[in-house]
Amino acid sequence: MFGIGGGEIIFIMFVVLMLFGSDKVPEIARTLGKTMAQIKHATNDIKNEIQKGAEENGFDKQSLADLTGNITAEIDKAKENLLGDTSTLTDFSNTVTSELTQVKQGLSVEENKTEVAAVAKEEEVEGPIKRQM
């Protein structure tokens, strides 16, 4: 609620209690409750008036959805005109990504070969019986 934690709410309540006293706090809470209810009713009334005005002028939910869809389509067209054909950039990006993946795989294979060779050399040196050929 408003980014306020439990400890902060308790502190605020303590300050209010100290400032106004225990006999005034219920009156303040009652007044705040009535005020919040009035604000809620006022916003609902305003919302209803706006909806009625929109419906009287021929704007219903479907026509507004169509209007926003048309606006979105126009914005997409403008973006496409500004950016031009981005398929070459996408192809280039895919090529670079695939090349990087191949290089990473190649490096990991080389590292594994090096590790296997090092382990084999250690086993050859540290083995219990050293064979000579």
Res 123 pLDDT > 90? no
State pLDDT tens for residues 41-96: 999 999 999 888 878 887 777 777 777 888 888 888 887 777 766 666 677 778 88
Q: What angle do CA 16, 17, 21 make, to 5 degrees?
A: 120
State how far the Cα of 87 lies from the Cα of 12, in Å rounded to an integer.
Answer: 58
| pLDDT on residue 39 | 95
What's the rounded mean pLDDT across residues 104-120?
68
Q: How far apart are CA 95 and CA 118, in angstroms?
A: 35
- Check residue 112 and give its pLDDT: 65
Please tell me the predicted confidence (pLDDT) of residue 113: 67
Looking at residue 72, its pLDDT comes to: 87
Residues 54 and 64: their CA atoms lie apart, in Å, by: 10
17 neighbors 25 (Cβ within 8 angstroms): yes
Phi, psi of 47 (to 5 degrees): -60, -45
Contacts of 16 (CB under 8 A, 6+ apart): 25, 28
Place of tokens 């191949």: 102
**Which one-letter DSSP state was computed for residue 129?**
S
DSSP string covering 30-66: HHHHHHHHHHHHHHHHHHHHHHHHHHHTT--HHHHHH
Tens of pLDDT, residues 98-107: 888 888 787 7
